[in-house]
């Protein structure tokens, strides 16, 4: 039986090779047949021959449901400071900050362009350490306990360094709380942490600053909408 199969198999393969392949014009013939079949249907003929109609007044609406317009990349503004203004912070009694004095530090805060520059312009700041800061949101989680980020803060930027004996942290954020309350909040945190606290103001900007041994801090607070913009610098601590 095996010998018979071995004899028949070459014959079968030879027969398969000798079969003619379908002519190349079979596809053309099928197309022609379909066209002949549709020739008697006026609806099909009209649909195939009519021009595509475009309403210019509607073309601008084609991207209405899209995440971004078709002609430019997606972009979104940062949320306002008073968006989702409910507080996640636990209720606590705050000490009232003393009335502010003159604010020579306010000018430096207004002129600083980066967090590193902001840290460098402070009289109590370590300029050598300020020049070494690196930017990463992770630094916001490495603030000293006395100045831990407020639970409602919406972080904008953070920087810091532990290089060469430095221990500097700089963060910038907005918060849906009024300036006066945030001044009292930071004043209370500083006093509880054993820091001194001096309050200065110029126009709408407030500055709190103080020391504890060799450690120092400065907080710049400005109104932003119905909330507050905050820049915090901590050197040591």
Domains of the chain with bracketed CATH: 104-235 (3.40.1000)
Query: Contacts for 149-154 with beta carbons within 8 Å, 24 or more apart?
Result: 149/173, 150/89, 150/175, 150/177, 150/182, 150/185, 151/87, 151/88, 151/89, 152/87, 152/88, 152/89, 152/176, 152/177, 153/230, 154/79, 154/81
Inter-residue contact 74 to 67 (CB < 8 Å): yes
Predicted confidence (pLDDT) per residue in 212-226, tens digit? 998 999 999 999 999
Place 130 in a pLDDT band, splitting at 50, 70 and 90. confident
Place 78 in a pLDDT band, splitting at 50, 70 and 90. low
Output the pLDDT for position 155: 97
User: What are the residues facing 220 on neighbouring strands?
Assistant: 207, 231
Q: Does residue 113 carry a pLDDT above 60?
A: no
More confident residue, 66 or 53: 53
Question: What's the DSSP call for residue 101?
Answer: B
Output the pLDDT for position 77: 54
Q: What is the pTM of this model?
A: 0.60
More confident residue, 12 or 167: 167
Output the pLDDT for position 131: 86
What is the token pair recorded at 190?
Answer: 């500083």
Output the pLDDT for position 190: 96
Dist. CA 65–CA 72, nearest whole Å: 15
């Amino acid at each position: 039986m095996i010998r018979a199969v071995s004899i028949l198999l070459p014959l079968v393969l030879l027969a398969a090779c000798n079969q003619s392949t379908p002519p190349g014009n079979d596809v053309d013939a099928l197309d022609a047949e379909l066209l002949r079949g549709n020739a008697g249907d006026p609806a099909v003929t009209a649909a195939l021959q009519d021009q595509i109609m475009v309403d210019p007044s509607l073309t601008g609406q084609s991207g209405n449901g899209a995440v971004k317009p078709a002609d430019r990349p997606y972009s979104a503004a940062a949320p306002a400071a008073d968006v989702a203004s409910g507080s996640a912070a636990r209720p606590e009694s705050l000490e009232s900050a003393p009335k502010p004095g003159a604010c020579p530090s306010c000018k430096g805060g207004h002129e600083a362009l980066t967090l590193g520059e902001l840290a460098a312009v402070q009289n109590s700041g370590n300029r050598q350490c300020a020049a070494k800061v690196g930017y990463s949101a992770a630094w916001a989680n490495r603030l000293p306990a006395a100045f831990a980020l407020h639970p409602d803060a919406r972080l904008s930027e953070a920087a810091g360094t532990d290089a060469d004996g430095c221990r500097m942290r700089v963060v910038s954020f907005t918060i849906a709380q009024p300036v006066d309350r945030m001044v009292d909040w930071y004043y209370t945190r500083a006093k509880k942490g054993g820091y001194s606290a001096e309050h200065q103001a110029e126009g709408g900007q407030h500055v709190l600053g103080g020391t504890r041994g060799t450690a120092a801090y400065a907080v710049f607070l400005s109104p932003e909408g119905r909330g507050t913009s905050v820049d915090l610098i901590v050197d040591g601590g």
